[in-house]
Amino acid sequence: MRLAMKNISRVFDNGKTKHVVLENVGFTIGTGEFVTLLGPSGCGKTTLLNIIAGFLPATGGTITLNDALVTKPGPDRGFIFQDYALFPWMKVKDNILYPMKRLGVPKAEREERLGQLMALAQLQGKENLYPHQLSGGMKQRTAVIRALAARPQVLLMDEPFGAVDFQMRMIMQEEMEALWLKDRTTVLMVTHDVEEAIYLSDRVIVMSSDRGRILEDIRIDLPRPRQRKGDAYHHYEDRLIDLLKTALGTGPAEEARGDSRATVALASAAQCAAEYTGCAPQELAAMGERA
């Protein structure tokens, strides 16, 4: 597996002004890596991830997955939305079976894979519950295994622990690590949280607010499962915090606009996700708004 981003640019043009969010951004991810894009709010992380997912076209540059050009969403790239976007009217098992049905996986194989995935996420016995009956951690694990159901080559996650409190966030990071250690699917995650990036990643790519420029690509060389302590851990923390300060200082003050734009981004992502999941875009967008 090789996912390669080359000279990615993205300009938002509202007719009056042109806003260059990404310019010539490039990096590569290899098999089994857990890579995180870390950058201040508004630096273009979601934009870049949506381009990689195929939800949003780039203005320039190319993305290849195993040398094939990526132009639209596909089951080779699993996507986990910030709010998980589980189908609230479907039981856990049906949420997970859904992408496999869409892909035409035969029934016996679907059921077998469902069993494997439920075991992987330690969700056995929860098959017949609805999403609202699950804890935050269980919802997240359900979203992860639903994304894994289609056997993607890479899992894309946009701030997957964004909407929960600090304690829950740590628990979910730990559950994510445990799940990933068993499965080892290649992951590209987006976050603005330094601690989260260090805790989970093999590599942290630091993006700047200045046209998404990559400031550094840092290998996190710490044993797993990770401990949130020790000199080496804190050394990475210091380094990334310094880098984030640089990342902020170099760009225009855009953070304030981030939130309203996120709604726009979600709506357009939902539009494209609809193509992939077969779910109506309004349904997906509504799910996002409810979260």
In the complex, which residues of this chain contact Mg ion (CB under 5 A)?
Answer: 46
Residue closer to ligand ADP, measured from CB, 45 or 77: 45
For residue 45, state whether it binds ligand ADP (rule: CB under 6 A): yes
Q: Which two tokens stand for residue 126?
A: 């929860």
Closest CA to 4 of 44, 63, 52: 63
Please say whether the beta carbons of 110 and 150 come within 8 A. no
Residue closer to ligand ADP, measured from CB, 69 or 256: 256
For residue 261, state whether it binds ligand ADP (rule: CB under 6 A): yes
Rule CB under 6 A: choose which of 7, 12, 235, 263 binds ligand ADP. 12
Distance CA 269, CA 36 (A): 20
Q: Under 8 Å CB-to-CB from 58, ≥6 apart: which residues?
A: 8, 9, 10, 22, 51
Q: What is the bridge-based pairing of β-strands 77-80 and 154-158?
A: parallel
From the list Mg ion, ligand ADP, none, partner contacted by residue 157 (C-beta under 5 to 8 A by kind): none
The structure tokens 């056995």 sit at 124
Site for ligand ADP in 65-84 (CB under 6 A): none
Closest CA to 8 of 219, 155, 250, 211: 211
Q: Under 8 Å CB-to-CB from 152, ≥6 apart: which residues?
A: 75, 76, 77, 78, 185
Closest CA to 250 of 206, 219, 203: 206
Please say whether the beta carbons of 98 and 90 come within 8 A. yes
From the list ligand ADP, Mg ion, none, partner contacted by residue 254 (C-beta under 5 to 8 A by kind): ligand ADP
For residue 198, state whether it binds ligand ADP (rule: CB under 6 A): no
Rule CB under 6 A: choose which of 34, 42, 123, 247 binds ligand ADP. 42
Query: Least distance from C-beta 260 to Mg ion, angstroms?
Result: 12
Residue closer to ligand ADP, measured from CB, 68 or 264: 264
Closest-approach residue to Mg ion (CB): 46
**Window contacting ligand ADP (CB under 6 A); options: 74-82, 135-143, 242-250, 253-261:** 253-261
Distance CA 258, CA 107 (A): 43
For residue 41, state whether it binds ligand ADP (rule: CB under 6 A): yes
Rule CB under 6 A: choose which of 61, 162, 258, 281 binds ligand ADP. 258
For residue 257, state whether it binds ligand ADP (rule: CB under 6 A): yes
**Window contacting ligand ADP (CB under 6 A); options: 93-101, 124-132, 147-155, 256-264:** 256-264
Bridge partners of 18?
A: 13
Site residues, ligand ADP (CB under 6 A): 12, 19, 21, 39, 41-47, 254, 257-258, 261-262, 264-265
